Amino acid sequence: MSIKIENLSHIYMKGTPFEKHALKRINLEIQDGEFIGLIGHTGSGKSTLIQHLNGLLKPTSGTIIIDDLDIADKNVKLKEVRKKVGLVFQYPEHQLFEETIYKDIAFGPQNLGLEEKEIEKRVKQSMEQVGLDFKELKEKSPFELSGGQKRRVAIAGVLAMKPDVLILDEPTAGLDPRGRDEILGQIKKLHKSQKITIILVSHSMEDISKLADKIIVMHDGEIVLFGSPEEVFQQVDLLEKIGLAAPQISYLMKKLKKKDPEIRDNIYTVEEATQEILKMLRRRKNA
């Protein structure tokens, strides 16, 4: 499902002393099935942008067309928009409230008025899609699960609505490295198997670079970069100016790899880069 945003602006508390121009004439086109990473500092406008995509926020001006549907149009029902676009909020496990995992995931489809048989099918499928065992876990309380598993239940709840676009706001926030890897692995699998459009919001260039086909970089309410990871990483000066320095490491390590092919791929942190450079120096010493 394609998304086309034209001249989208959003001003919070317009006309008050607290007025905030959170989105400034955003233009963006996302193609069906793309995996998009959305990155930017706190306050750059990421959450404001994604909340427009499922109708939670209305534009101050501009249009958002999702699959030929102008979702800002007053006549378009929010229920229709939510069926197309699933949004997983930050810390979605805080919104789990039913006594069993089944009931929690079934909540959305029940609201759609689906038959019990279809609901069960969807709960089962969406649990499988996030790597949770249906039989073993369906009657358990969500609160018996680990942080990462709870989050997967919350994601399954959104998947059970069968959205064409899945937006995840900081899905790895607050998880330990294992939980992070699990969630990212599941999201990657999901994209591959379901071919849905995914927008992954993150502060971590590392997470995003591992998964996304294209990266959107936001700064102060504007999209300052939009392109493949390779294209975005090459804009070293701009990224440095807005304080997103990490991709520089990846970019420089790629350059270094041309001189020493044994350097491994996908290095995004200072620690990893240091390790690889030390290994490279050792290799040279032993050569």
Closest separation in Å from C-beta 199 to ligand ATP: 13
CB neighbour class for 287 (10 Å; exposed up to 12, middle 13-18, buried from 19): exposed
Closest separation in Å from C-beta 284 to ligand ATP: 41
Q: Select 138 or 214, whichever has its Cβ closest to ligand ATP.
A: 214
What's the Cα-to-Cα distance from 212 to each of 23, 35, 51, 125, 151, rounded to whole Å? 23, 5, 20, 24, 21
* 46 is a contact residue toward ligand ATP (CB under 6 A): yes
Residues in binding contact with ligand ATP, number by CB under 6 A: 12
Beta-bridge partners for 168:
88, 200
Cβ atoms of 249 and 267 within 8 Å: the answer is: yes
The interface with ligand ATP within residues 47-106 (CB under 6 A) comprises 47-48
45, 157, 163, 171: residue in contact with ligand ATP (rule CB under 6 A): 45
Q: How many CA atoms lie within 13 A of 141 on its CB side?
A: 4
Cβ atoms of 134 and 100 within 8 Å: the answer is: no
* 44 is a contact residue toward ligand ATP (CB under 6 A): yes
Cβ atoms of 236 and 229 within 8 Å: the answer is: no
12, 91, 134, 256: residue in contact with ligand ATP (rule CB under 6 A): 12
* 16 is a contact residue toward ligand ATP (CB under 6 A): no
Q: Select 42 or 75, whichever has its Cβ closest to ligand ATP.
A: 42
4, 6, 9, 43: residue in contact with ligand ATP (rule CB under 6 A): 43
Q: What Rg, from alpha-carbon coordinates, does the chain have?
A: 21
- Cβ neighbours around 104 below 10 Å, total: 23
Closest separation in Å from C-beta 186 to ligand ATP: 22
CB neighbour class for 63 (10 Å; exposed up to 12, middle 13-18, buried from 19): middle
H or E, element range at 114:
none
Could you give the CA distance from residue 55 to residue 32 in angstroms, rounded to a whole number? 19
Beta-bridge partners for 85:
165
Could you give the CA distance from residue 77 to residue 136 in angstroms, rounded to a whole number? 37
Q: Select 15 or 261, whichever has its Cβ closest to ligand ATP.
A: 15
Q: Select 40 or 148, whichever has its Cβ closest to ligand ATP.
A: 40
Q: Select 21 or 103, whichever has its Cβ closest to ligand ATP.
A: 21
Q: Which stretch binds ligand ATP (CB under 6 A): 41-49, 65-73, 122-130, 254-262?
A: 41-49
Both tokens of 201, joined, read 């919001």
Closest separation in Å from C-beta 169 to ligand ATP: 7
Q: Select 47 or 149, whichever has its Cβ closest to ligand ATP.
A: 47
Helix axes 270-286, 246-259, angle to 10 degrees: 20
Closest separation in Å from C-beta 60 to ligand ATP: 12
The interface with ligand ATP within residues 18-37 (CB under 6 A) comprises 20, 22
The interface with ligand ATP within residues 209-238 (CB under 6 A) comprises none
Q: Which residues bind ligand ATP (CB under 6 A)?
A: 12-13, 20, 22, 40, 42-48
